[in-house]
Structure 1
């Protein structure tokens, strides 16, 4: 079987096209000037011109001779302009396209998996520097996303493996010595460990669902949602000796009530489990929810990792003894819920110690607040 013939086609690069464009423009401009000169010379009288003194030399060239000379010299000039235009155009195009070559080289490195380099194109601000800055920003975002993914994969595998390893150990001990086992206690511990694995999987499914669907937003009384969440976490607060104080103004926001309950509950649980002594909740009429708690001094540089899944280990040092540790998905779910509501989430380290979490949700417009409250009350 004969191989198909491959038709070779020359590669017309951008630099070559720009060079041809520059040369063509220069030749066309020269041709226009030559045509104008030729047209002007058509008005020269078509008879021999003689000198004023008959003793001088003979008659000068006629119009036809002058026009012929113009045509001949114009042809040489146009050929020279074409050569100069090609050479100068090739150099100028190369200088102009050099930043694009740097961006192309960076793109090839990124395609090979290297995301730690940046172009950092300097010079005058133009379209190439804008493209370079945009590309560098994209590389930074990609590198941050891949780093988060690697940490997520490592932490998730650890978190999911731990309950199964614990259950395996308990079962192996029970099998090795079945006569000295408290079946009721063993069943209870197995149930707690299994529930922990279920909770982790359900939290992961909730996180994946939030990242892959559009949330339908309706008017929600955020103050009522926060009160419900505070009542829901009150038993845990009482058990750990934490006082929850709230200053809630009436606030109607566009949101999903179920998800906002999850958001408020996670924020309060996070503050109870990682704070010390008290939790303060504040809500403004414009949909700004603030949850703060005293505690150990936090490193501001590490706050951005608190919203990553399975960063529980980063905050274990701040957890008070005897309190639930969670799964490291609380603030990750909060971040996803806020993003689904087109809001903003800010984490601030209190200089005196502890964490301040501020959630800003888009409120109803002033003209719709009254009717929204009436609909909710009805």
Structure 2
């Protein structure tokens, strides 16, 4: 019979090789091996105990060289009927010993077989109890789709490896749910943000073409407005690409000094209405220097943009922490978390500051890619204090 036919028949008629079956067979095999080993040791010990010693006899005859000095009763004369009875007694005793050993071996084998069957049954039952929670994880995972990521396994029981697996899966579902929600929300808002400059360009161009009294100056003004809308669209696309790149994570990390990056960014920033102050110390971290520079740029630019005339921005860096604090209008504490979502701004800033609403969301994405934590707190006098704390392993990672 070809091997392929045999395999097909085995897959069809033999039970599926589940984890429960393999565990049961493993339990049974280990029990049989341990039982056989214990019975073998017991058998040889009993055999050694009941077997007659080669130099020890129950009865002695005068033919034995040590008959005169050996302990026991008087020696039996050879050639008598008593000697024949003694020989028969010795042979019967040896046969009885062999019978005892044979019965021990047979009965031990029967007992081992019975206990092996019982071990398989108990192993099947115990494996089912152990894997019951794992089946719950599997069933829940099969029922979850992109439309019901809010479901959780909620595995109960002792804090063991299966409980850890269930909790890990729940955490994975939580992150997937947040990612799917952010993706749907982001696509909806990004399409609106990209559609607005295009619509503006089309309207401006159409109005200029439909004006019968258009002059060179009016056409130039319309063209400049179209270019301005195109520049805004370019900034939006660049910001969206940076955000997507940050959310994709970092494959290779290199060691660099965050303090140098902060100093370079702050030194080239100038604002006639805002005073910039910096306090920078060496701060070695591991990550992507280009993305980290974009993080610093967004934080500093955001602090300058959302400020007041005569205000200030203070940038401090050291010991794995970057803090950007600025003066400015008061920020409600309930609105701080929303600022880190794409296209979210407070009040009328959406239309008056010239920003895209992606600065802090890019900061959040870059920080997450570096395993860093971003916290923001509003100042009582107005403004915001944003801190990015990089992890210890990131600062200690080799270059």
What is the TM-score when the length of structure 1 is the normalising length?
0.73
- Please point out which of 6, 16, 19 is paired with 1:14: 19
- Please point out which of 315, 332, 346 is paired with 2:374: 346
Q: Is the 8 A contact 1:99 1:128 kept in 2?
A: yes
Q: Is the 8 A contact 1:41 1:63 kept in 2?
A: no
| Alignment match, 2:240 | 204
Q: Is the 8 A contact 2:152 2:170 kept in 1?
A: yes
| Alignment match, 2:297 | 265
Map 1:227-266 onto structure 2 (within 5 A).
Answer: 227-231=266-270, 234-235=271-272, 238=273, 243-251=274-282, 253=284, 262-266=294-298
| Alignment match, 2:230 | 194
Separation in structure 1 between the aligned mates of residue 297 and residue 35 of structure 2, nearest angstrom: 78
Q: Is the 8 A contact 2:333 2:378 kept in 1?
A: no
Separation in structure 2 between the aligned mates of residue 343 and residue 221 of structure 1, nearest angstrom: 20
Unaligned runs of 5+ in 1: 49-58, 364-378
Shift in Å, 1:349? 2.5
Q: Is the 8 A contact 2:281 2:318 kept in 1?
A: yes
Secondary structure of residue in 2 paired with 1:158? helix
Separation in structure 2 between the aligned mates of residue 343 and residue 30 of structure 1, nearest angstrom: 53
| Alignment match, 1:274 | 306
| Alignment match, 2:362 | 333
Separation in structure 1 between the aligned mates of residue 335 and residue 166 of structure 2, nearest angstrom: 27
Unaligned runs of 5+ in 2: 59-91, 393-399
Deviations along 1:340-375, one digit per CA (max 9) or x if unpaired, are 7x4735232226354211134699xxxxxxxxxxxx
| Alignment match, 1:63 | 97
* CA-based RMSD: 3.8
Map 1:266-345 onto structure 2 (within 5 A).
Answer: 266-276=298-308, 278-286=311-319, 288-293=321-326, 294-299=328-333, 303=337, 305-308=338-341, 311-312=342-343, 314-317=344-347, 319=349, 323-338=352-367, 342=370, 344-345=372-373
Label 1:214 to 1:201 Cα distance change in 2 as closer, same or farther (>3 A). farther
- Please point out which of 93, 99, 105 is paired with 2:127: 93
What is the TM-score when the length of structure 2 is the normalising length?
0.70
More moved, 90-99 vs 69-78? 69-78
Separation in structure 2 between the aligned mates of residue 38 and residue 275 of structure 1, nearest angstrom: 92
The structure with the largest alpha-carbon Rg is 2
Label 1:183 to 1:336 Cα distance change in 2 as closer, same or farther (>3 A). same
Shift in Å, 1:215? 6.9
Deviations along 1:205-229, one digit per CA (max 9) or x if unpaired, are 3445555775765556346324324
Deviations along 1:48-93, one digit per CA (max 9) or x if unpaired, are 9xxxxxxxxxx99932333343334323322321221121111101
Q: Is the 8 A contact 1:276 1:295 kept in 2?
A: yes
Secondary structure of residue in 2 paired with 1:62? helix
Deviations along 1:243-302, one digit per CA (max 9) or x if unpaired, are 434242454656888666644432233224334563431314546432223433434586
